[in-house]
Structure 1
Amino acid sequence: MSGRCSKEKKEQSGGGWSEEQKEKFAAELFQSVQGTKVIPDIGIDDSILKYSGLDSASALDDYSSQLIDLIIKGSGYLKDLGSSLSSFSIVPNAVGLGALVISILLETFMISLKKTEDEANVSGMMRRVFAEEKASDVRDTMSEYIKRFSLKMHNPEELLYETKRLEEQLSNGLTRLRNSMLHDNQISTRSMKHWTNGAAFHLQMFIHKARMEVAISVSSSSELDSHVRSVGELADQYENDMKNLLTKYEAYKRSTIKTSTTRMVRFEQKGEFAYTKFRHLDSELKTEAGFENYQDQGRYKRNLEDTYQNYMFENWKLLKELREYFPSIKKNLQETIKQNTTFSIEKFLPAPEGNDRTDN
C-alpha cells in the first residue's frame, strides 16, 4: 500500500501527464502539422469536386475565361487562337463529367503551347492523383476515357458507346483495387488515393451515361426514375466501400504514424535552456513535422502516441469529407441527370480587332 502511495505521489509531483494535458498537446501537435507532407493525401481531387455539383457549367465557364486570359497574358494576342480551339466551338453535354473532361482538354491545350508564364503552376488532375505510378488499371482507363471523349465529343451516340464501355472497364478495375486493399492487405496511401478518385470519377461517368441516354431519347418519367435509382444504388455501394476502406486505412496508418517527444538543450549566455520537441513521424511517407514547446522543459519522457492518434482520426476533416462525398451526390439526382448544357469557347476569345469582346 505504501509503495502505491509513493508511486502516486511521484506522478503528482510532475513525473506524469494528466489526460487533459495529453489531449492539449495532441491537439497542438495535430494543428502544427496541418498543411505539411506528414498529413496523407487521400482526398478526391479538387477538379472532380468542382464539377460534381449542379453548378458545373458555370465552373467550366469561369475556368475557361481564366485560362484564355492566362494564354493571352503569357503569349500575347494569338492570331490563330480561335482556329486552334475550334473543336470547342460547340460541345454538347458540357456538364458534370463532360465539364470536367473539357476543362482537362483545355488545360492540355494550354500546356502544349509552352508559352505561358504560369505553365510551371499547371498540374493536371491525372498527374496529381497518380503521380509517377507505372502500372494502374484505374489510371489507364480514366486516361483512355479522356482521350475517347476528345475524339467523340461532337457525336453523342458514339460518346455514349465509349462511356458505357469504359465505365464497365473502370468499374472492374476499381473492384480489383478495392479487394486488394480489403482482402490482400495491399492498402497504402497511394492505393487509397487511386481508389477515392477512381470511384468518384466512375460515379460521374455513370451519371453522364444516364444523362446522355436521357438526352438522345424520348425518355419517360419512369425511365428517368430508373436512372436515378441505378445511380443512387451505385452511390450507396461506394459509400459502404469508403466506410470499410477508411476503417482499414486507419488501422494501417496507426502502424506507420509515431510520435516523439525529445528534450532539447540550448546554451545561451544566461546558461542552459531546455525545451521539448514534439514530432509526428510517418514511416510510410518518410516525413516528419511538429513544434517546439518552451514551457515544457523535457524533464520527463512523454508518451503521446495513443492519445495523438485518437485525436488525429477523430478530428481529421478529410475523412469526414470523404465519407460525405457519395451521399452528397445522391441529392438532386434527378435534376443532375436532366442537366444538358452546350459549351462554346468562342464567348471567351478576344474579339477581332475593331470589335468589342462580348460575352453571351
Structure 2
Amino acid sequence: MGNQACNPSPNTVDCLYDAASHAGLLPDLSLDASLASLLSLNSSRVVEQQYAALQSRLAPQQRAAFNRDLHTAFGGNAMVSYGGVGVVALAVSVLFEVLAHHQTTTSGHRGLERPPTPPDPIARMFGPNGRSEVGSIASEFLKQVPGAANDRDQMVALLESYEAKLRFELMDLYESMVFLERGALSSAGVKQWVNGAALHLHIFLHWKRLTDPAAAESFSLDYLRGVDPLVKTYSEYLHRTVRETPASGPGLSGLLVVEPLRNVSHEVRHRACESAAIQRALVERFLSDQDPQRGKDFFQSSQDRHDALMAQRGDLRLSIASH
C-alpha cells in the first residue's frame, strides 16, 4: 500500500514534462527528417519542390537576386551536376535556405530594426557540437560542395577527403559513447552520430558513384548494427541522469535535471517519495518521443536500395538569373 500511495499522478508527470519542453531540455536523437528525405531516392523531387516553393514566395526583385547569387555560387553555371542527388542535393538545399533568408531580410528589414536570426540548417540537423566535431565537419563539407559540384575531379577529391574525416570522427564518437568513458555520452552526441552516419554513408556512396559505380561496399550494415547498442547505452544513461525534486513551498522551487548542466527549476508540488517513479516515467516518455527506428530504417533502406542509389542521376537546372 505504501508504494502504491507514492505513485505520482499522470498530471504531475505531464507538468514536469512540459517544464522540460518549455526549457528546451527534451532529448533529441532522431534522424533529421529533411536530411533523410534529401538522402533518398526521392531527393531530386524534394530539392526541386523546395526550389519552386522558394521562387514562388520571393518578390520579383528578390527572386532575381536569389538566382544571381545561386549562379555565382555554382560558378556561373545554369546546371548543377548531380544537383538532385544525395549529398549534392543536401548542400543545394542548405544553400537555398540561406540565400532565400538573405534576400527576404536584406530587402524587408531596414534601419534600426533587428533582422531575424539567420537559419542554421546544420545546427538543426546535427545539434550542438559538444565534444564532437561531426557538425563542424558536415558544415565545412556542405559549404564546399557548390563550388566543386561541376568539376568532377575537384568533387572526387572533396568527397574522398571528407569521407575519411567524417569516418574517423564518427568511429571515435561511437567508441567514446558506447565502449569507453561514460562522460562522453549525451543526447547531443547520439544525435550527431545518427545524423553524421547518414551523411557519411552518402558521401561514400557519391564518391563511389563518381569513381567506381559497380562498387558493392557500403557502411549501411555497420551503421545499422550500431544503432541498437547505442540506444541501449543511451537509455541506461538517461535512467542515471534524470533526477527530480519537488517544490516544497513559496520561494522553494523544485529542480528537474535531464542531463548534466541541463536542468530547470519548477513549481510542481508532490510528495518527495514520488520522485523515483516520476524519474522513471519521464525517462520512458523521453525515449518514446525519440524515433531511433527512423535511423534504423534509413540504414536498412540504404542497404536494400544500394544499387538504385548508386544508379541515381539527377542534374538540377537553375532558373536564368535576371539582370
Corresponding residue number in structure 2 for 1:199: 197
Is residue 222 of structure 2 the alignment partner of residue 251 of structure 1?
A: no
Q: Which amino acid aligns with 1:238?
A: Y
Question: Contact (CA 8 Å) 2:167, 2:200: kept in 1 or not?
Answer: yes
Q: Which amino acid aligns with 2:222?
A: Q
Matched ranges for 1:327-346 at <5 A: 327-346=300-319
Is residue 274 of structure 2 the alignment partner of residue 302 of structure 1?
A: yes
For 2:20 and 2:279, the matched residues in 1 are separated by 19
For 1:22 and 1:301, the matched residues in 2 are separated by 9
Question: Contact (CA 8 Å) 1:141, 1:166: kept in 2 or not?
Answer: yes
For 1:299 and 1:133, the matched residues in 2 are separated by 38
Q: Which amino acid aligns with 1:326?
A: F
| Deviation by residue 1:249-272 (Cα, 9 ceiling, x = unmatched) | 22222122124455779xxxxxxx
Question: Contact (CA 8 Å) 2:28, 2:187: kept in 1 or not?
Answer: yes
| Deviation by residue 1:131-173 (Cα, 9 ceiling, x = unmatched) | 6648754234323322331221111232123212220121011
Q: What SS does the corresponding residue of 1:212 show, helix, strand or coil? A: helix
Q: What SS does the corresponding residue of 2:316 show, helix, strand or coil? A: coil
Q: Residue 71 and residue 318 in structure 1: after superposition, are their counterparts in 2 closer, same or farther (change >3 A)? A: same
What is the aligned counterpart of 2:260 among 277, 284, 307?
Answer: 284
| Deviation by residue 1:194-250 (Cα, 9 ceiling, x = unmatched) | 222211110111222232235xxxx6xxx2xx43xx12xx11111222222222222
Q: Which amino acid aligns with 1:253?
A: L
Q: Which amino acid aligns with 2:89?
A: A
Deviation of 1:78 after TM superposition, in Å, equals 5.6
Corresponding residue number in structure 2 for 1:210: 208
For structure 1, which segment, 48-57 or 22-31, has the greater mean C-alpha deviation from structure 2 after superposition? Answer: 22-31
For 1:207 and 1:291, the matched residues in 2 are separated by 51
For 1:101 and 1:89, the matched residues in 2 are separated by 16
Q: What SS does the corresponding residue of 2:243 show, helix, strand or coil? A: strand
| Deviation by residue 1:273-324 (Cα, 9 ceiling, x = unmatched) | xxxx99854243533498979xxxx578424146415633663342333343
For 1:334 and 1:128, the matched residues in 2 are separated by 30
Q: Residue 301 and residue 165 in structure 1: after superposition, are their counterparts in 2 closer, same or farther (change >3 A)? A: closer
Corresponding residue number in structure 2 for 1:43: 30
For 2:265 and 2:46, the matched residues in 1 are separated by 36
Question: Contact (CA 8 Å) 2:247, 2:267: kept in 1 or not?
Answer: no
Deviation of 1:177 after TM superposition, in Å, equals 1.6
Is residue 142 of structure 2 the alignment partner of residue 153 of structure 1?
A: no
| Deviation by residue 1:54-97 (Cα, 9 ceiling, x = unmatched) | 11111101111222334427xx4565554433235101112111
Corresponding residue number in structure 2 for 1:165: 161
Question: Contact (CA 8 Å) 2:256, 2:265: kept in 1 or not?
Answer: yes
Deviation of 1:22 after TM superposition, in Å, equals 5.8
For 2:316 and 2:267, the matched residues in 1 are separated by 49
For 1:253 and 1:134, the matched residues in 2 are separated by 17
Corresponding residue number in structure 2 for 1:89: 78
Q: Residue 329 and residue 26 in structure 1: after superposition, are their counterparts in 2 closer, same or farther (change >3 A)? A: farther
For 2:279 and 2:145, the matched residues in 1 are separated by 48
Q: What SS does the corresponding residue of 1:242 show, helix, strand or coil? A: helix
Q: Residue 81 and residue 49 in structure 1: after superposition, are their counterparts in 2 closer, same or farther (change >3 A)? A: closer
| Deviation by residue 1:311-360 (Cα, 9 ceiling, x = unmatched) | 3366334233334332233232221221101101217x78x9xxxxxxxx
Question: Contact (CA 8 Å) 1:50, 1:56: kept in 2 or not?
Answer: yes
Is residue 4 of structure 2 the alignment partner of residue 17 of structure 1?
A: yes
Unaligned 5+ residue runs, structure 2?
110-114
Q: Residue 213 and residue 26 in structure 1: after superposition, are their counterparts in 2 closer, same or farther (change >3 A)? A: farther
Q: Residue 50 and residue 16 in structure 1: after superposition, are their counterparts in 2 closer, same or farther (change >3 A)? A: same
For structure 1, which segment, 249-258 or 315-324, has the greater mean C-alpha deviation from structure 2 after superposition? Answer: 315-324
For 2:194 and 2:226, the matched residues in 1 are separated by 10
Unaligned 5+ residue runs, structure 1?
1-10, 266-276, 353-360
Question: Contact (CA 8 Å) 1:138, 1:170: kept in 2 or not?
Answer: yes
The percentage of aligned residue pairs carrying the same residue is 17
Corresponding residue number in structure 2 for 1:268: none
CA-based RMSD: 3.6
Q: Residue 80 and residue 334 in structure 1: after superposition, are their counterparts in 2 closer, same or farther (change >3 A)? A: same
Q: Residue 129 and residue 291 in structure 1: after superposition, are their counterparts in 2 closer, same or farther (change >3 A)? A: farther
For 2:133 and 2:87, the matched residues in 1 are separated by 19
For 1:28 and 1:279, the matched residues in 2 are separated by 15
Corresponding residue number in structure 2 for 1:184: 181
Q: Which amino acid aligns with 2:208?
A: A
Corresponding residue number in structure 1 for 2:112: none
Please tell me whether Structure 1 or Structure 2 has the larger radius of gyration of its CA atoms: 1
